[in-house]
Structure formats: structure tokens, C-alpha cells
């Protein structure tokens, strides 16, 4: 029923997300992985997942990071009618995401893309702008039109034909580009608040997972000096590890329930 596509660059997050998908998916599924780094230990972890009988497949590996371009290969390899694009710093998801997406797609034939809502608090936006940036489409189904990207996007497989017009790039807002292309074709890409994920954004949470240096280097490499400053300046005023552990456990507990 759903093909999860994951371009792996941060194994610590990737292990958590893969475990979440296995634990919380209650429909036929597959997890398609592109390994965007050279890490024998992580590949061994993936091999163990396969050996345990879970439907995971390594579509490709590259010693260097090809970034978002990996999704073009993952989409082509997918088998199911719903295809999910996931950022690999999403580490927790709510239950019944596939069932929710299938229900919305059945009810709204003009919707070709759904993006899960994100956990937000004073330490993270989850990369989603404030809700006043969105226009309600259906309160019953939790649908809103506004700025979305592919942090956890689910597509009708047929709608991914629009990707053929894109030039694959290492860094690209693929979900946003797909939404724009669908709009030109008379289709919609919407935020769905009935699906929710924990997208690890913000120096406090990133530091808790020991990924602060990684994120600073990433943003420096793409020329995001604003993000480099934000993450670097936060070093001197990070919350205690105990506080962040309490928050993360609270998020995990909250996302064990259907939104």
C-alpha cells in the first residue's frame, strides 16, 4: 500500500526512523533506502533488518552524498500506489499515517500530495511556518493549503510523473517543487494535520542527538550563514540533557496516539 523512500545520510536518525516505520505501519509496505555515505556498520544494520524479515531494500549506495537526487532513483524503484518521501532527520511518526493518506486520497481525487504536520514547541518549528500561513481546505480531514516541502510527504504514485521534468540536484526543495508542478497540472499538495512527525530541527534537539557539529557543517556547505550562526550561537545556552530527554520522551508518547 505504501512505499517509504529514504535517502540516508545520518545513521543515528535513520535507525530510529526505520524502527518507527516498522513498528507503526499496519498496512502492506516497503522501505526503500539509498545509502548516501560510506558506513559499513550502517549497511550491516540494514542487512540485519532485512534478515529479520522486514520489507527493506537497499536501492543504491554512493560513497559521497548525492543528496536529494537519490529520490529520483527511489521513486522509480517503488512498487505501491502511495509513495512517501522522508527527510532522514524525521525520527518519530504518528500511527496510521498510510491509512489516513489513503482515506484523504479516496475522498479528494484532486489531491496528489499530502505532507504530515510536525511537532512544534519553543525549541523547534519542525520546518513548518506558523499556521496563519495556511488556508483551511477541509477541517474534517485536517487539510490546509500553504508552504510545504518533503519532510514527510506522501504522493499518489501517478503524480510523481512530474519529477521527470526536474533536473536532479544534491540540494533541492523537492517536495516544494512537486507541489508547484502539481498545481500547474490542476492538482493540490496539502498539509494534513491528521498525520504528525517529529522533525529534528533546531539546535536544542539537534544537540541532544549529538548532531550539532554535523548540522553546522551542512549549513556552512550550502551557504546558509544564518543557520550556521543560529546553531553556533546556541552552544552557550543549551538546555540540560535531562530537560531534553524529558521532552523527547514526551514527544514519543504523544506521537504514539493518532492525531
Q: What digits encode the pLDDT tens for the residues 127-158? A: 999 999 999 999 999 999 999 999 999 999 99
User: Does 241 fall in a domain?
Assistant: no
User: Does 154 fall in a domain?
Assistant: yes
Whether the Cβ atoms of residue 259 and residue 194 lie closer than 8 Å to each other: yes
Q: Is the pLDDT of residue 49 over 90?
A: yes
Report helix, strand or coil for 137.
strand
Q: What is the DSSP string of 14-81?
A: HHHHHHHHHHH--SSEEEEEEE-S--HHHHHHHHHHHHTT--EEEEEE-SS--GGGHHHHHHHH--SS
Taking residues 208-236, report their average pLDDT: 93
Q: Which domain holds residue 95?
A: 2-201
User: Does 140 fall in a domain?
Assistant: yes
145 bridge partner residues: 135
Per-residue pLDDT of 25-38, as tens digits, reads 999 999 999 999 99
Q: Is the pLDDT of residue 222 over 90?
A: no
| pLDDT class of 64 with cuts at 50, 70, 90 | confident
User: Does 67 fall in a domain?
Assistant: yes
Number of domains present in the structure of the chain = 1
pLDDT at 257: 85
Q: Across all residues in the chain, what is the average pLDDT?
A: 96
pLDDT at 53: 98
CA 135/CA 140 separation, integer angstroms = 14
Q: Is the pLDDT of residue 258 over 90?
A: no
Q: Is the pLDDT of residue 63 over 90?
A: no
Per-residue pLDDT of 114-128, as tens digits, reads 999 999 999 999 999
User: Does 229 fall in a domain?
Assistant: no
Whether the Cβ atoms of residue 84 and residue 33 lie closer than 8 Å to each other: no
CA 51/CA 34 separation, integer angstroms = 18
pTM: 0.96
CA 223/CA 254 separation, integer angstroms = 35
Taking residues 191-201, report their average pLDDT: 97
Q: Is the pLDDT of residue 168 over 80?
A: yes
pLDDT at 62: 93
User: Does 115 fall in a domain?
Assistant: yes
CA 118/CA 125 separation, integer angstroms = 8
Per-residue pLDDT of 78-108, as tens digits, reads 999 999 999 999 999 999 999 999 999 999 9
CA 76/CA 2 separation, integer angstroms = 14
Q: Is the pLDDT of residue 163 over 90?
A: yes
User: Does 100 fall in a domain?
Assistant: yes
CA 42/CA 18 separation, integer angstroms = 12
pLDDT at 247: 97
Q: Is the pLDDT of residue 187 over 90?
A: yes
CA 7/CA 39 separation, integer angstroms = 14
pLDDT at 32: 98
Q: Which of 210, 195, 217 is nearest to 248 (CA)?
A: 210
190 bridge partner residues: 114
User: Does 224 fall in a domain?
Assistant: no
Residue 95 is part of a domain; what is its CATH number?
3.90.550.10
Amino acid at each position: 500500500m505504501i512505499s517509504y523512500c529514504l535517502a540516508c545520510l545520518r545513521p543515528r536518525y535513520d535507525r530510529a526512523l526505520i524502527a518507527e516505520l516498522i513498528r507503526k505501519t499496519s498496512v502492506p509496505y516497503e522501505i526503500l533506502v539509498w545509502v548516501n555515505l560510506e558506513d559499513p556498520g550502517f549497511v550491516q544494520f540494514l542487512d540485519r533488518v532485512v534478515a529479520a524479515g522486514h520489507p527493506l531494500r537497499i536501492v543504491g549506495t554512493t560513497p559521497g552524498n548525492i543528496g536529494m537526487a537519490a529520490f529520483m532513483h527511489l521513486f522509480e524503484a517503488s512498487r505501491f500506489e502511495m509513495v512517501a518521501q522522508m527527510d532522514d532527520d524525521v525520527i518519530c511518526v504518528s500511527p496510521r499515517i498510510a491509512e489516513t493518506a489513503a482515506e484523504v486520497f479516496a475522498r479528494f481525487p484532486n489531491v496528489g500530495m499530502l505532507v504530515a504536520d510536525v511537532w512544534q514547541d519553543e525549541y523547534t518549528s519542525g520546518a513548518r511556518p506558523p499556521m496563519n500561513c495556511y488556508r483551511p481546505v477541509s477541517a474534517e480531514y485536517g487539510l490546509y493549503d500553504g508552504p510545504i516541502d518533503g519532510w514527510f510527504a506522501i504522493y499518489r504514485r501517478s503524480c510523481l510523473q512530474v519529477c521527470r521534468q526536474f533536473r536532479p540536484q544534491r540540494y533541492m526543495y523537492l517536495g516544494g517543487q512537486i507541489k508547484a508542478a502539481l498545481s500547474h497540472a490542476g492538482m493540490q499538495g496539502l498539509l494534513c494535520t491528521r498525520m504528525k512527525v517529529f522533525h529534528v530541527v533546531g539546535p536544542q534537539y539537534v544537540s541532544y542527538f549529538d548532531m550539532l557539529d554535523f548540522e553546522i557543517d551542512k549549513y556552512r556547505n550550502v551557504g546558509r550563514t544564518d543557520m550556521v550562526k543560529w546553531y553556533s550561537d546556541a552552544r552557550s545556552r543549551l538546555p540540560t540533557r535531562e530537560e531534553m530527554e524529558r521532552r523527547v520522551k514526551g514527544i514519543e508518547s504523544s506521537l504514539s496516539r493518532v492525531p
